[in-house]
Structure 1
C-alpha cells in the first residue's frame, strides 16, 4: 500500500517519521547503520551516491544534524550543497516548493530538510518530482526520525537488541520535542518493555500513546530505568510563562548525580543536544561514566549514511 513515505513498490522513498515505519524496516536500517559505522568514522566507504547531489536545506540552525548529514553524504561519494537560507531567494519571498523545484532543475535529487513548521517537510515530499527523495531533519514539534534512529542504535549497542527487557525514561520538555516523539514511535515499534515520560504538567504533550506511562515527577520516572533520555528545554518553541524560572526547573527536573542513582547502576544517559548544562543536566552526569551522548553523535553519521544510501538505491520510478 502506497503511503507518503513509501513508493508504489513499497520501497522507502522519503523518511518523514518513524511513526508507522514498523519493526522490520527500522531494524533493517539499524543493521545497515551498524555495518557502515567504520566508514562513518573516517575509513574509505563504498560510493553509492557518486554522481548524486544532496542538498542540506536547513531553515533552522543546526550543528550536529547538518554536519553529520554533510559528512554522511560526502563519505558516500555525493556532491553536497549546504543551502544558505540567509543569502537565498527565500529571503525575497520565494516559496519553499519553488526553492525545491529550482534545485531539482539543477540536478539535485536528495534533500535533507529542517524547518520550524511541522507540516513543511511533508508538503515538500508531496510536491517532489518522482525521482526526488526527502529526509526530515526535524520539522517543528513533529518528528526528527534520524535522531530517533541514532538513539535506537545507541541503545541497542549498549543494552542489546531485546528492547522488551528495557525500561526507558524520557524526561524534560516533551511537549515541544520532535526528538521525544520520534523516540517514542521507534521504541514502541521495537517493543520496549516499559516506557515512561516525565515533565511538568504544562510541558507534557497533548498526545497519548498506548502503553506509555506518564510520570509527574522525575524521581518516579528514573526509578530502576535502564535508559535515561534527558531533553533540552526548548524555550524558542514555547509560550512565555510555561516555566516559572530556570532555577526552579533545575531544582525540580534537572538530571543530577543523586537523581541518576535512582536508575539502575548500569543505566545509560542520553541527550539529543544541544545541552543546557545546569538547566536540564548536570556536568557530572553529562560527562560521567554512564553518559553515551558522544556515542549518539558518532552514530548520527552512520545512521544518516544508511538512510541516504537506501534512498539512493531505491527502484527508479
Structure 2
C-alpha cells in the first residue's frame, strides 16, 4: 500500500487486514518502528479527534511529529498546498497527513509526491481513517461484516465520513442503508434510503452524523428540537432498536440535535470506543505505509486472538 487516500481503491482483503491489525494493536499494543521517521501533519481545517489521534499514533510508533499551523505558515504568503507538501518532503518527512477543505486534494498530492499521503478528510470527499476506526469498532462487536445491516443517518450529502463508510462497508459485504432529510440525500451513492423510524428497527449498526453547517449554501430554518424529533435518535426510537444493535457517531456530537443527549453514553453507544480505536487504526495505516509491523495473515491473527481469549 503506497497511500491511504480513499476507500474506493481498497479491496476487501486490504481493508480486513488493516481492521484486524488495528484490533490487535488496540488489545496488545505495538513496538516502535525500526529506524527514525518524521510525520508531517498538514491540517488546514479544525480538528480535535483526528489530529490528536494521529499525533498519539505517531508518537507511540516512535516517530518525530512535524506540526503545522496554516495561519502562521507560508500559506499566508500565497504558497500552494503542493509546494508546502513538497517542502516537508524535501526536508525529510517520511509521510504526509493532510486535512483540507478541497475535495480530491489528497489524491492529487499522492500522484505528485514520492512519500505516502494519508487523507485525513478532504472537503465532502472522503475520510478513510475515520472509516477504518468505525470498521474496527464494528468488528470488535460482531467479529464479521457480511450481512450486517448498517444504517448511516443524517447529512449524507455533505459528509465525507458517510461516503468512505458506505463504500467500505459495501466492499465488506454489509447491507448499507441511508436515511436523512430529502435536501441532504446524495443520489451518487447507490444505496437505498429509508425513514429513520424504519432504520432503528432494522439496524445492527446505526451510524449517526452531525449536520455539516460549514458546508451548506442554504440556511436551514428548522430548530434543533425539530430536527431531533423528525430525523434524529430520540429516546423513543432508541427503545425500538434491536437488543444487540449499537450506536456509532464520528463526532463531534451535537447533543440534542442528531441524538438525544441521554443516549450519547448509553449502554449501546460505542462513540467513545470509536475515539479510542482511532489511535490503533491510524497506527495500523502508518505501519503498512512504511512497510513495518510483521505478518498479519488471517492464520496468525486468529492465533493471536486465541492467545488473547
Relative to the length of structure 2, the TM-score reads 0.91
CA distance in structure 2 between the partners assigned to 1:18 and 1:208 by the alignment = 14
Q: Is the 8 A contact 1:218 1:253 kept in 2?
A: yes
Q: Is the 8 A contact 1:17 1:136 kept in 2?
A: yes
Q: Tell me which residue corresponds to 1:36.
A: 25
Within-5 A mapping of 1:122-201: 122-129=107-114, 132-161=115-144, 163-192=145-174, 194-201=175-182
Q: Tell me which residue corresponds to 2:186.
A: 205
CA distance in structure 1 between the partners assigned to 2:28 and 2:80 by the alignment = 37
Is structure 2 residue 215 aligned with structure 1 residue 237? Answer: yes
SS of equivalent to 2:192? strand
218, 221, 230: which one aligns with 1:252: 230
CA distance in structure 1 between the partners assigned to 2:165 and 2:284 by the alignment = 18
Q: Tell me which residue corresponds to 2:69.
A: 84
Q: Tell me which residue corresponds to 1:269.
A: 247
Shift of 1:54: 0.4
Deviation string, structure 1 residues 81-139 (Cα, Å, up to 9, x no partner): 1211111000111000110111111101201000001021112112112xx00000000
CA distance in structure 2 between the partners assigned to 1:299 and 1:164 by the alignment = 21
CA distance in structure 2 between the partners assigned to 1:254 and 1:213 by the alignment = 18
Using the TM superposition, name which of 45-54 and 55-64 deviates more: 45-54
Q: Is the 8 A contact 2:228 2:260 kept in 1?
A: no
CA distance in structure 2 between the partners assigned to 1:164 and 1:263 by the alignment = 20
Q: Tell me which residue corresponds to 2:3.
A: 14
CA root-mean-square deviation: 1.4
Shift of 1:276: 0.4
- Which consecutive residues of structure 2, in runs of 5 or more, have no partner in the other structure? 293-309
Shift of 1:245: 3.4
CA distance in structure 2 between the partners assigned to 1:280 and 1:63 by the alignment = 20
Q: Is the 8 A contact 1:49 1:309 kept in 2?
A: no
CA distance in structure 2 between the partners assigned to 1:137 and 1:35 by the alignment = 22
Shift of 1:15: 0.4
CA distance in structure 1 between the partners assigned to 2:192 and 2:278 by the alignment = 28
Q: Is the 8 A contact 2:26 2:280 kept in 1?
A: yes
Q: Is the 8 A contact 2:200 2:206 kept in 1?
A: yes
CA distance in structure 2 between the partners assigned to 1:149 and 1:306 by the alignment = 10
Shift of 1:243: 5.3
SS of equivalent to 1:138? strand
Using the TM superposition, name which of 282-291 and 244-253 deviates more: 244-253
- Which consecutive residues of structure 1, in runs of 5 or more, have no partner in the other structure? 1-11
Query: In the comparison of the two structures, how many residue pairs are matched?
Result: 292
Is structure 2 residue 97 aligned with structure 1 residue 108? Answer: no
Relative to the length of structure 1, the TM-score reads 0.89
98, 101, 104: which one aligns with 1:119: 104
Q: Tell me which residue corresponds to 1:6.
A: none
